[in-house]
Structure formats: structure tokens, C-alpha cells
Chains A and B, each alone.
Chain A
Amino acid sequence: MSGQSDLELVNKKGIRLDGRKAGELRNIKIEAGVLENADGSAYVEIGKNKVRAAVYGPRECHPRHLQDPTKAIIQCKYNMMAFSVSDRKRPGPDRRSVEISKIIAEALEAVVLTELYPRASIDVYIEILQANAGTRCAGLTAASVALADAGIPMKDIIPAVAVGKADGKVLLDLNKEEDNFGQADVPLALIPKTNEIVLLQMDGNMTRDEFDKAIEMGVAACHEIYELQKDALRRRYSAALKDGDSNE
């Protein structure tokens, strides 16, 4: 957002740098059950973003003082690999990843039936293998598929997408250039069944009208991603049902 450039992010025909229209998503690929030793896992590609999520648990909560006697807690760790961005990212947690971990965990708590597992902890690990703007959304998208894959009871699967503004136009699913040189970035996640928003942030400025338009765009896109998430889970397990030898 901070950067300035004379780069034309959206051309006169309304086409963006990567050839998309304003309301178009990047290519999305979702796979469930990619890790052998995790209870549940998922791999998500959104454009050039590559994200892997692993879920462990419900298991006994450590450290003990974090336990909640009435429900399970969700512990989330969002981590960017050192090689995920063009400048090497210094490994380890920083303010940004701590924040993202927290908001993702809170978004997931809205759908997971945590009261079924008192005192337990459900651990979610999100690894960003390659970043190109919108990794928190990709991470949350992957994490909710991984949770379902782990057989954890939940009300719904959460899709997430970013909307924003660049070159004065409201755009869906910002890429790196639009994120860096645009005017606003609004990550958004919701529960598709009720359209209840569970994650919403805004970096930059937008008018109220633009914001409403952006939310409308984002909600529609979330429902699209939701179908892909469900399809990924069904694909994985319908195959197993049909043909047991498929994975050996």
C-alpha cells in the first residue's frame, strides 16, 4: 500500500497485470490429506501462493495453563518459510505472523464445535511455501480443509479471500503488485451457510460505497472457494470409498 509507482495496475480495458478482470479470482487448487503423519492436512495454491496446513488433535493441551475446562482451544501457528518471498524472510515468529495466527485461530473457533473436547487443544500449523499476497486467506482456506480432513466436528468450512482497491478500482483477490502499490487490502472470511463474517481486516482506505462493493464481491468469491474446498474433500474420500487400493 505504501509504495508508489507509475505501474499501470488496471489498464483502460479493465484488465489487470495478470490478465484478470476486476471480479476474477486467481487459479485455485486445493488438495486434502497431503501429509502422512498429521491427523489432517491440506495443500492450497491460489495463484502463486503455495500453502500447506496440518492439523493435530484434539489432544491434551500443553502448556497446562492454557487449558479451558469448558471447551477445546485452537492453537494456530502461521509461518512463512524463509524462501517464500523474494527477499529472504528472517525465520521465526514476528509481529505479523503472531497477529495472523491469532485471527486465523479466532476465525476457526467460530465453526469448530470446541465444547465437545474440554481441556483439549487442536493445533493448526500453516506453512507458507510461496507468498504472493493474500497468504492469510490462503492459509485459512487450507486450515479449514485440514480441520475437516482431521475429522474434527465443525459447523461449516471457512473460505477466505482478499478484496481491495488499486488504481482507484475495487478488485478481487489482489496479487503482489496490486497489494504493494494499491490503495487498500481487505482480507475477508465467512461462514458460507449464514454469511457470517469471521475475519475482516482493512489496510488502506476505501469509501463506504467501495467497501460495500468489495464485500459483495468477496462474499460471492468465498462461496466459489467453498465449493472448491468441499470438492477437494469429497474427491479425496470418494476415491477411497470407490477403490480401496488407490492409495497403495
Chain B
Amino acid sequence: MFGLIGHSTSFEDAKRKASMLGFDHIADGDLDVWCTAPPQLVENVEVKSATGISIEGSYIDSCFVPEMLSRFKTARRKVLNAMELAQKKGINITALGGFTSIIFENFNLLQHKQIRNTSLEWERFTTGNTHTAWVICKQLEVNAPRIGIDLNKATVAVIGATGDIGSAVCRWLINKTGISELLMVARQQEPLALLQKELDGGTITTLDEALPQADIVVWVASMPKTIDIDADNLKKPCLMIDGGYPKNLDEKFQGENVHVLKGGIVEFFNDIGWNMMELAEMQNPQREMFACFAEAMILEFEKCHTNFSWGRNNISLEKMEFIGAASLKHGFSAIGLDKQPKILTV
């Protein structure tokens, strides 16, 4: 069995969905009620791979909402309780979606192994970041030429380069593509310097300096909401891949020849017959999902029951190649600009 731990994008959204699902006791509750709400196993589903293998899985809503980020004890409990539920249900491999893995990592939850009478087994969980990083790289390689960007001449800026996904993307771009230049932007300078040393390449720079130079911008940082970007300063054409969480590049902005692509989203070859991705507001909810969720499915298809993506900076090229090949084999493909016709013009 595979599992997916997800959550709503806002408190209002969560209440609306709870009402739809018949969870009236929390749908009517205020944020305090949600803070005390147990995780919910919302849906069970069977998925058949392109190879014909069938697997079963469950979607668990942790009842976390981003408004709880200011209450770290609450956020911590939501994540750990959802993980405990997944393990209690006997799920082999569960992906930590949305803020779940970010909270796990940033709040150092490794030290909280014992949850009530359950000792959490980390090998049952994956952040899904390896697949997300691979998907973002593929989205870049496939879609840049489509809008007239020659990869061999392209300058690529990675915003959030030192994160787990960001560093993996940088590693892939340097080693596996022929891009002309890699610009690396991150808040913390020390890990950035270490990454540059490891890669033996890439230029450390700031966001303001990187944006006007970049043909392609990969956003994998969880960005503060106050940043405004002047679209006039961007190169044209420009491919922007929104690969962070939350996906907060507003698609409504106007700019000629600026193409925004939702990063880290995959499409399955067949309808799945679930409701959970409608909750995640995918464009084609029967087929589309976050790549991190798909990683749990792929690992279950492959009977690879291990915490494949775990910790920070452990994503190797070999792991990306493995998950990428398995992803294609079982019927996943990265969504591209053709699926998202958002060629934005003035």
C-alpha cells in the first residue's frame, strides 16, 4: 500500500472541503477546533500502472492548514499524528506532501519517533523530493526549446538552490544538461558556497541580479509573500518553473513571452478515479498530481519500500535516474506548456 499525506491550502479551503466530505464537526469549527482535529483517512484508491501492476493506496489529510505555521507545536503534532495514522494503517510507503515534509525537516521532527504506542518507522516515509526534482528538470529540458530557448545557450537561475530539491536540480543541470550558465540564489550563503564547491560550477548571485540574466528561472524556494518582480526586467522569452511549495507565482500577471509552468506536477496515463486531487485543485484531477505523491506510488509499484527521499541534500543523480525511469515505465509524465497554455501576452 502507498499513502499520501496532504493538507488544504488555506483554512477557508479546508472548511469548504470538510463540508463537501461530510466532516461537519470540523467544517463548522473555528481554527481552534481544527488545531484539535485528528488526521483523517479521506479516501482509498486502487491504481493500475502502465505495466499492468495494481496497487492500493490511501489519502490522509493531516488537518493541518498553513495558518497553523505560527503555532509550531500544533504543526508538529499534525504532521506526526498523520504519519502515525499512516503507519497504523499498515501503509508501506507514504509521501509527505505540501508543507508536511517542510515542517518535518525544518522543525527537526526526527527526534519525535515515539507517538503514543507507535514507534514511527522512518523507512515507511518519503519526502518525494527526488521525483519532484527529476520532474522539474525534465520540464525544463522539454519546454524551454518549445518557446525558442536553446538550452546550450541558456542561462538558468535556480531560486532556492540550497534546498533539497534546489540542490538536486542544480546537480542535474550541471551534470546532465548542456546549459550555458547556472545562477544559484539562496538566502544562506554558507551552504551556497558548499554547493558551488561540490558542483565545481555555478555562479552565486542575488535574486535581483539573476532575474534579468536568466532565460529560465526555476523557483524552488518557499517564498516570502512580499516579493514583487518587475516582469519588464525579465528576458523574453522566459520560462518560469514554479517548483516550490506553495505554488505562489501568480499566473494572472501579464508579461509578453513569459511562460509560467507549474513545476513538479505529473500526469498519469489513465484516469485514477479518486477525489483527492480535486481537493488539491489540479487542472485534470483524475490524472494530475504532485510529483512527490507520485513518488510513493512509483516506489509501491517497484516494491521499493524505503525512505527513498529523506533528509537534506541526499538526492543523487543515480536516484533521480532511477525514479525517472520508473516514473516513465509506470505511466507518469511531467506536465508541460501544452497542457497549460499560459503564454501570457500584454
Does A associate with B in a complex?
no
